[in-house]
Amino acid sequence: MNILEILKSKEIVSGSAIGEVLGISRAAVHKQINTLKQIGYKIKSSSKGYVLISNKNLFNEYEIESKLKKPLKICKTVKYYKQLPSTQTAVKKLAEKNFEEGFIIVAEKQTNSYGRIKRMWSSNAGGLWFSILLKPSIRPDEASKLALILSIALKRTLKEYKVDSEIKWSNDVFVNGRKIAGILVEMSAEQDRINWIVAGIGININNKLPEKFADISISLKKVLGREVDRAEFLAELLAKIEDIYNDFCNTGFEMFVEEYNWNIAYKNEIVSIDDGYNNIVSGVNLGIDKDGKLIVNTKVGLKKIISGTLRKYET
Ligand code: BTN
């Protein structure tokens, strides 16, 4: 239990009662109360104790931790920053210092965030921008499959909000034909083992989208017509990632293929895939195979594609 959970569970609670539960002095309680006030909580102090006045949609590590329903191995530590260049770069630095699996960094705003193939990623305040440090015991060539199944976790989470989404291969999540989330998986590996994986996830939640992306992106706020509690969303998503990650590490990828293909965008439609080196393959999107490769029916027969950017073919 943390101090916030205690304050939330009682109408009024004295400093000594909080101190007893947490095993700390009244002075230490006072210090923590001040920290909470500094990050935006309204707390009234009187001779009887402390009262939490309101905490409408605050987003910080206390809120995230207090909304996790059970301990998660993918979220042992969560750190929240008001601003960072990139959560991805920050977690990669920790990975290099041999931090353990389950370290998560969340930022309100990123000033130098990036997506796949180092594309610029827009990260205004109000979105959900975070990176997770993972150390799965899988072969390096399995890592790209992990990226695919993270999009399933996102899809399942959006379903909890009654939002239907599709997965645009390889790991973009779309709602109403527009991108709501993107996933970036980077790793360091030896020939036959992974040192670390950093999975970066960006989700448009309450953030205002830049004008130039208005036609291709969408936020959850826009879809639902209301603000969404990001700590709640993140806690839900992390629980889904934990389940998927455990299943994947214990059982493998095959169990996810059907669910992935069931939710894949532009299925049986003509698509083109650009491998980033000016090689473009066009054909009918037949979904992924058991290795996560995209099967495309081209004019010269079936092709299996490992990576690239997929676009719906426009005539
Ligand atoms: C993509 O669609 O290309 C992937 C986008 C990934 C963006 C996230 S936001 C959190 C993390 N920090 C970054 O700099 N990038 C990822």
Q: What is the pLDDT of residues 93-145, one digit of tens each?
A: 999 999 999 999 999 999 999 999 999 999 999 999 999 999 999 999 999 99
Closest CA to 66 of 90, 94, 95, 41: 41
Distance 86 CA to ligand 1 centre (A): 8
Give alpha helix (H) positions in the chain.
3-9, 15-22, 26-38, 61-67, 87-96, 143-160, 220-224, 230-251, 254-262
- Answer whether 183 contacts ligand 1 (Cβ < 6 A): yes
Structure tokens at 49: 């104790």
Q: Is the pLDDT of residue 306 over 90?
A: yes
Given this model, what pLDDT does residue 273 score?
Answer: 96
Closest CA to 228 of 128, 78, 119: 128
pLDDT in tens, 54-66: 777 799 998 999 8
Give the pLDDT band of residue 162 (cuts 50, 70, 90). Answer: very high
pLDDT in tens, 203-246: 999 999 999 998 999 999 999 999 999 999 999 999 999 999 99
Q: What is the mean pLDDT of residues 29-33?
A: 95
| Angle at the Cα of 120 from the Cα atoms of 118 and 125, rounded to 5 degrees | 135
- Answer whether 202 contacts ligand 1 (Cβ < 6 A): yes
Given this model, what pLDDT does residue 1 score?
Answer: 80
Given this model, what pLDDT does residue 7 score?
Answer: 92
Distance 258 CA to ligand 1 centre (A): 26
Mutate which of 92, 167, 186, 201 for ligand 1? The one with the most ligand atoms within 8 Å of its CB, which is: 201
Whole-model pTM above 0.85?
A: yes
Distance 47 CA to ligand 1 centre (A): 48
Distance 168 CA to ligand 1 centre (A): 16
Mutate which of 84, 105, 121 for ligand 1? The one with the most ligand atoms within 8 Å of its CB, which is: 121
CB neighbours of residue 16 within 10 Å? 11
Given this model, what pLDDT does residue 275 score?
Answer: 86
Given this model, what pLDDT does residue 84 score?
Answer: 98
- Answer whether 119 contacts ligand 1 (Cβ < 6 A): yes
Given this model, what pLDDT does residue 54 score?
Answer: 75
Residue-averaged pLDDT of the chain: 95
Residue type, 141: D
What are residue 295's phi and psi, to 5 degrees?
-95, 125
